Amino acid sequence: MSPFSPLTLPNGTTLPNRFAKAAMEENLADADHAPSDELIRLYQAWAEGEAGLMITGNVMVDRRAMTGPGGVVLESEGNRERFEQWARAARARGAQIWMQLNHPGRQMPAALGQETIAPSAVPMDMGSFSKQFTAPKEMSEAEIADVKRRFVDAAVLAEKFGFSGVQIHAAHGYLISQFLSPLTNKRNDRWGGAIENRARILLDVVKEIRTRVGTRFSLSVKLNSADFQRGGFSSDDAKQVVSMLNPLRVDLLELSGGSYEAPAMHGQARDGRTLAREAYFLEFARDIGTVAGMPMMVTGGIRRFPVAEQVLDSGIDMVGIGTALALNPSLPKEWKAGKASAPMLRAITWKNKVLASIAYMSMVKHQLRRVSGGKKTNPTVMPAFAFLEQQLDTMIKTRRYRRWMSRQAA
């Protein structure tokens, strides 16, 4: 299978090639938490680099629930023009752009000053870093219904604003992933217990979006292949969820893994398993693919063309690329021209896994900021520099977010 061959999705639309810009949290919203000029410029660069699909970083369905400051929020038509500009920039070279919709649940920084909700009142377990997150309160039936409505309404708005589709984020320890995992879902009602109950909120959101959008509007789900924590969401659980998604007309299933507590998406497990240096989740995807009735995409560490070919030759339909496209937005175009480009960040040798994970994300965001400002990337940036730069950026944007929320409440 050539990575440059098109892929026709179940809804009849076609992706021009098999390379997807996987979601990365950009934190590049403007002061109104709408798409900024910098964010639009970033997607122009990826469009010119000829990725066939672009999946946005987190778009939050509730301004009170943010994965971090500087995130885009979509609750109304208030910033329609900015969203339309974002969609147009990404689609300029024929690619599709899907808006990733998310709610952090308990993975919301305490510094943002908002009440934290989750399926159950299970606090974060990150050692000395646990205090960075407020212990959540268990969601009521009304709060669950509100969150479901917000996901569906945001999908409807995304279609109206010119996006090609949406991706429901049900991985990486965010809210829907928290419902799926027995470690974070201790409920005894219809939302907890058996996997059919833990998956209910995801299935409801997918079903309701399908009834509200056009048949050519793409709908994707991002799912953990496993939590990589003992007693957590397992690959067997994932296979059962995929079987439940099969009849719901999902156009693409993206497999990833991990959470803030066990950042497997950065190549780090917490349950003793060792992850490959590239295509972290390919082994799990092959197993889950035995029950999947929709196209599949694997993301996690892919940066070389031969590895992308290996992923596709194994029966996977799309190759998701994150960090490598942050370092080189023109990667698909260069591979098509025969260049052996293999962008790579400087290695992080820190022993503290939590700090190392934060430093890794900081180094990626350093590249995104440079590209959004029209500058060349800097793969050799020092982890400590990127870490401190990101801490300062987060502090400034946290203050801005709190002022914004105060104005909303006035």
383: in domain: no
CB-based burial, 114-152: b 16+ in 10 Å, e otherwise: bebbbbbebebebeebeeebbebeebeeeebeebbebbb
Check which CATH number belongs to the domain holding 113 and give it: 3.20.20.70
- Distance between CA 259 and CA 265 in Å, rounded? 8
pLDDT at 197: 98
Kindly tell me the number of DSSP H helices and DSSP E strands found in the chain.
13, 14
Q: Are 110 and 131 in contact (CB under 8 A)?
A: yes
Residue 205 located in a structural domain: yes
User: In this structure, is residue 110 part of a structural domain?
Assistant: yes
Cα separation, 329 vs 294, whole angstroms:
28
The answer to whether position 112 is within a domain reads yes
Position 102 scores a pLDDT of 98
DSSP 345: P
For residue 2, give both structure tokens: 């050539």
Which residue range forms the structural domain that includes residue 18? 7-343
List helix spans (H) across 49-99: 80-91
Give the per-residue pLDDT at 265: 46
Q: Which residues of 58-77 are buried (b: 16+ CB within 10 A; e: fewer)?
A: bbbbbbbbbbbbbbbbbbee
Check residue 270 and give its pLDDT.
40
Residue 316 in any domain: the answer is yes
364 falls within a domain: no
What pLDDT does residue 268 have?
A: 43
Tell whether 32 is covered by a domain.
yes
pLDDT tens digit at each of 410 positions of the chain: 799 999 999 999 999 999 999 999 999 999 999 999 999 999 999 999 999 999 999 999 999 999 999 999 999 999 999 999 999 999 999 999 999 999 999 999 999 999 999 999 999 987 877 888 999 999 999 999 999 999 999 999 999 999 999 999 999 899 999 999 999 999 999 999 999 999 999 999 999 999 999 999 999 999 987 666 667 788 889 999 999 999 999 999 998 876 676 654 444 444 333 334 555 567 778 888 889 999 999 887 889 999 899 889 989 999 999 999 999 999 999 999 999 999 999 999 998 888 888 899 999 999 999 999 999 999 999 999 999 999 999 999 999 999 999 998 76
Please state the domain count of the chain.
1
pLDDT score at 402: 97
The C-alpha atoms of residue 260 and residue 406 are separated, in whole angstroms, by 28
Cβ atoms of 305 and 337 closer than 8 Å: no
**CA torsion, points 250, 255, 258, 259, in degrees to nearest 10?**
-40
Q: Is residue 299 part of a domain?
A: yes
According to DSSP, residue 348 is labeled: -
Confidence (pLDDT) at 195: 96
